Each structure stands twice: as C-alpha cells, then as structure tokens.
Structure 1
Amino acid sequence: MNKTKKIRKKTLVNSIKRGFRIFYNSLETPFFESSIRVSKKIKKFNKTKEDKKWMKELLTTNKVIKRFYKRPELQVLDIDNIQSIYFKSRDQINLAGLVYEPNKNSNKWVIACHWFAGHKSLALHHAMIFAKMGYNIMVFDFRGHGQSQDDSTTMGAKEKHDLMGAVDWLKENRKIDQLALMGTSMGGFVVNYCSFFYKDEFKELNLKFVVSDVAYGSVFSLFLHIRNIYLFFLPKKRTKKVIERLILKQSKQENNLNFHEVSIFHLLREYGNKELFPTLFLHSSDDKVTSSADTYELLIKRSFKEDDYLVFNFSMHTQGIRFHFKSFNYKIAEFINRFEEDDTKFKNIVDQWKLLKFDKKDQLSLLLN
C-alpha cells in the first residue's frame, strides 16, 4: 500500500508526535536489521518484496525485545504465521496492519493497539501473552503512524475510527468465536472508549474483556498531568486556563473537533456505568506521561465488580512489561484465565515463562514493585 499524500497540520499534538518519533527512532537505530538479512528472511519465510517494510520493522523490534527489554520470550520468531493486511478506517483513512496466527485451530482474537508515536510491531510484542493463552493477534498502525496514511493525531478522537476499521476487517475476513482488546497509553484510551461507545457491536462479537495499560481518562487530564510533571513552574491557578486555551486551539485546528469530548469520564457521566466489559487496568504510580489517578478514577466511576487492576510503584511509561515482566504477564494471564477457565494453558505459560520464579534479572522488579 502506498501512503496517501501526507497531511501535516501544525498542531501541538502533531509537533509533540514528531519529537517523540525522532526520539523513538534514535532508540531503535542501534538495533536496525540490515537489508541483506531482511532479504534472506523474506526468502526463508516465503514473503514478497511488498513485505519488506514490516519485516524490517519486526526484525528490528525483535532485537529491541531481546537486547533492550532483555525478554526474548516476547520475540516473534514464527514469521511464517504473520500476514500483512491493509484496510480503511471508518472515516476512510488507509491503514496497515498485521495478523499473527500461531493458533491455527483457534478463533479467539485479540486486537492490540500501540501507544502515541509507537507502531504495530511493538503492540504485537506486548500482546504475546495472548498467543500463549490460545489467541491469535491483530495489530495495526494508527493514522499518522508507521505504514498507515499520514493524518493528524487526535489522542483518540479520530483514532476510534481506526480501531473500528480493524474490527470491521477482522469480522469480514476471519471467524471470531470470542474477542479481546488490549491497548497501551493512547491505544489504551482507544480500546476503553470504543468498548463503551460501541458496546452493542462488541456484544455481537462476544467481546470478553479489555486490557488497558497506562491509559488516560481524557485529553484534559492527560494535559493536566503533563503540566504537573513538566510545566510545574506555571502557577497552579493559571493551569486550567492554559489547558483550556490549548484544547480550544487544538479543536479549532482540527475543524472544530471537540477535544473536551475525548473523555471516558464524559461517556460515564452521560451514559452511566451499565453494560460494561470486564477491564484489567495496569499502571505505575510514578508514570511521567499518564496519571495513575485516571486509572483509579475510572475504577471508581465504573464501579464494576469484574474489573481488576495492578499499579506498580515504579515504571517508565509503556515499560511496565519490561520492568515487571513476570508480575505484568502473570496478571494478564490470570485475568484471561478467569474468563477462559483453561487451567492447562495458564499453568503451561506460568511454567514456561517461570512467572512465579524471580531470578537475579527480576530482583529489580521486586524492589520496585
């Protein structure tokens, strides 16, 4: 798929995204896979030249997972089980994705959504526990990210159309016996928002549960937290006015899109907390990008007995799976098993990944937990 002509609106969020993308690229650069090795892998796994971009991306992130995360368990080595796909969002943006099908006889699916300035391959690695629990995985690049069509990033306001486009593709091209959603940061906001706003559609698809990692509850609370961390020199009494101006300006630049409505809190106030899907919330109390207070507030306002949560004392944003690999994945596997009741798969992954045995590499996690 060729990218459509780029749209470069000079909004605050787009400017921040460009900065983050440069930063993330610099972190991945030492791990870039060579073109020669990519070509060899293409032949080995019977892929085509059209697969080169995502293959290079995935082979690079495999290295990141092994050498930087130091968690080879999260690598995707059976590349023959991956297919690249292209589809449209519900507002007709061209999107690129991957379907990973290690469980050929299973019709259980999870759609995993990446974070702001991230991309689909990292979402795939973060969702690998699902593959071990019998699921197949679909990931995709949000608009303005990865191989998808460039467009303004709106922190969930338009990205909800991307996730629902992925749902449409999966529904049309694969059999779905049951479905799960997983999202990190911006992806976490999107899966939370869509599971509420489109709940009737998800009921028909037998959505079992949602896994929300370091998500925010609203754009306003996201901006407020970033102000408290990075713009602490601003007088507190002026904070709300400053954020209001930023949101108003962003809304005007995006054709009067109302960023105050980019809020799960708004949905809960308007529609109440009925007919929710069980959600596992993961966060860290010292997250420097999104606030764990949003997670606690969502838990309180949802007041849903089937929800669960795990909040660490320390972890860099989006890196709970790296700092707390065993606790993080055990909690997700346990949550999945609550609805699957497949003790064999659960025990197998606990034993295979030694999720209850903390060796020298895990001591930092115990100290920070």
Structure 2
Amino acid sequence: MKQLIFNVIVKLLNKTKENSDYLYSNFSNASILDLYVDSLKEEGVDPRITSLLGEEWTYQKFEDIGIITYLNPKKTDKWMVALHGYSSSKESSAISAWFMAEKGYNILAFDFINHGQSDEGMVSFGPNEYQNLLTALRFLHINYTPSEIGLIGFSMGAFTLNLSALINDLTFQSYNVKFGISDSPYFEIKEVLKTVLKFSTPLVYNQIKNLFADLIHEYKENFGIDILKYDVKNLIKENKKSFPILFFHSKKDLVTNYQDSMLFFEERKVLKQKDMIHIFETGAHIRSQTTHTDKYFELVDEFLKNLEE
C-alpha cells in the first residue's frame, strides 16, 4: 500500500509537462511567448514588463534542455540567465528577466528538466535543476563569449540560484557569473515538497504528510536522486566564495515563506558579499515584480550600482 502511495505522489510531483506538451503541440513557439505576455497585459501590469511582445527570440534545444535567447540590438557581451519556477517554463522567466535588456544585457531562459521543451525526467527541486543550469551556462560559453553573467530565479529557480552560489567549485567563476537576483525562494527542499503536495492533493494531504522521509528515501533508492545532497547551512559554512545576491520576497506569499529569504540573507553574512534584501508587505508568490514594479526595478538598479563600487 505504501509503495502505491509513493507511486502516486511521484507521479503528481512530475506532472509538470502536461500543459506545456499541449501548448507546444498546438501553437508556434513565438505565439506561446505572446500568450504569456497577453495574459499579463490583461492584468494591467506595467508595460515595461510586457514590452517584449513582437521582439525576436530564438528557440533551440541544447543537450536535454529547451532554451530561448534574445540578443540585444545594442551589441553586448553581458547576459542575464533566467530560471523559472516549479510547473512553469522558460517563457515566464524570460518575461520576468526582460527588464534587464534595457540595462544592456542579452537574455537566455531555459526549461528545467521535465518542464517546457526540455526532456522528460525527474523534478528534484534543486539537484537536477542545478545540473540544468550548468548546461545553460555551458551553452552560452560554447556559442558566445560572455564577459558577465547575472542569474535571476523565481521560486524553484531562486532556490537553484541560491544553491549554485554556494557549491564550492570554480564553475561559476570560470563562467563569469557575477550576481544573482533571488525572487521568492524556499530554504529547504523537504519543506517545499510538503507545500507542493498540500496544494496538489489537499484532500489526502493529512494522510500522506508523515511519509516525507520515506518519499525522500524513495527518490534516492529508485531514481538515484539525493534530494538532500546539498544542505544549504553546511554549504555556507564550508564555502568561502560566492557571488552577491539580491533577495525579494512578499509577506503575503502563500507558497514559500518570506522568512526563508531572510534566513538565506542572514546565513550568508559570513560570506561578506554585497547581498541585499527587500521584503514587500503585499504581493502573491513571485508577483513582487508585477505588484511593486517601480520599487523592484529601483532596488535592482541600486544593487547593480553597489556592485560597481
């Protein structure tokens, strides 16, 4: 019986390609991006967020991930890499990174494994997604010569960004990653697993909430994915190098807790980076940019200026 429950839970966690498979089968690549933009326009968000409608994006596949790129008409070697959230896609993160084009960046957005146009696989809420990020950076360095790379991540993408900043290797130095913008991350994978399942299966959540330790074991034994491979607190203690991160979160976020961003910020103080944080009083999950556009952009400008000093 327990194995049956595990199979159901794993299937629920990995239903992330269902909507995107339909979209990519029935619409052109460009029109899918337009659909995302049009939906935001209907909400009345700031035009600076949606002004990319009609701009030329290039879609391609590299190894196991789907990628879109935008080359700034003002020639530049600076790149912004966008990391989307769980059950989302590269189109949504591309829109959220679009404002960086005005600041002189090219933009790359990619699909995590089992999302969008990437290959099927297992969603791991961090470890596999970190490998996808490395693949995206490898793509940039094979095809371009970035002088500077910034990362901007949302929810699962924000956690992946924060994780990547702490893994003690030379990858990000050699790839010229200079900073990150972390929007609405979680601090622990096991806690966000509970949240995802609570939203996905509210009627049976109380019956399965005590099985999470076994579920993590199941992921490792049957799928070879160690969800707990990277312990953030230990990585911070062990690592002496990182890149600066600007944290955004909202107190009204019902998916990830704003205190998780605060915890990241406080724990990272020992790294002595030029980190910044801003907690908004209002705004739904990963909606700070659309809810508080002026302040959001102002803080990004302040953060980037501080990095130059």
Q: Does 1:72 align with 2:47?
A: yes
AA at the equivalent of 2:220 = S
Q: Does 1:15 align with 2:12?
A: yes
- Preserved contact between residue 281 and residue 309 of structure 1 (Cα < 8 Å): yes
- The structure having more radius of gyration, on CA atoms, is 1
Aligned residue number for residue 261 of structure 1: 229
Aligned residue number for residue 319 of structure 1: 287
How far apart are residue 78 of structure 1 and its match? Answer: 4.7
Residues 247-271 of structure 1, C-alpha deviations (whole Å, 9 max, x = no match): 223333423x2222244234224x1
Aligned residue number for residue 213 of structure 2: 244
Aligned residue number for residue 153 of structure 1: 123
Q: TM-score, with normalisation over the residues of structure 2?
A: 0.84
Residues 210-237 of structure 1, C-alpha deviations (whole Å, 9 max, x = no match): 1111111221232466689979x959xx
Q: What is the aligned-residue RMSD (CA, Å)? A: 3.1
- Preserved contact between residue 74 and residue 104 of structure 2 (Cα < 8 Å): no
SS at match of 2:235: helix
How far apart are residue 61 of structure 1 and its match? Answer: 1.1
Distance 1:327 1:201, change over 3 A: same
- Preserved contact between residue 222 and residue 291 of structure 1 (Cα < 8 Å): no
Q: Does 1:54 align with 2:29?
A: yes
Q: TM-score, with normalisation over the residues of structure 1?
A: 0.72
Equivalent residue in structure 1 for 2:70, among 87, 92, 100? 100
Structure 1: how far apart are the matches of 2:37 and 2:196?
A: 31
Equivalent residue in structure 1 for 2:268, among 302, 318, 336? 302
AA at the equivalent of 2:127 = A
Equivalent residue in structure 2 for 1:279, among 245, 249, 256? 245
- Preserved contact between residue 251 and residue 259 of structure 1 (Cα < 8 Å): yes
Equivalent residue in structure 1 for 2:258, among 270, 292, 305? 292
Aligned residue number for residue 333 of structure 1: 301
Structure 2: how far apart are the matches of 1:78 and 1:177?
A: 27
Structure 2: how far apart are the matches of 1:227 and 1:55?
A: 32
- Preserved contact between residue 84 and residue 96 of structure 1 (Cα < 8 Å): yes
Aligned residue number for residue 46 of structure 1: none
Structure 1: how far apart are the matches of 2:94 and 2:308?
A: 21
Superposition pairs of residues 143-292 of structure 1, within 5 angstroms? 143-197=113-167, 199-223=169-193, 242-255=211-224, 257-269=225-237, 271-272=238-239, 274-292=240-258
Structure 1: how far apart are the matches of 2:7 and 2:291?
A: 35
Structure 2: how far apart are the matches of 1:308 and 1:228?
A: 31
- Preserved contact between residue 13 and residue 197 of structure 2 (Cα < 8 Å): no
Aligned residue number for residue 83 of structure 2: 113
Q: How many residues align?
A: 297
Instruction: Identify unmatched segments of 5+ residues in structure 2.
Output: 1-5
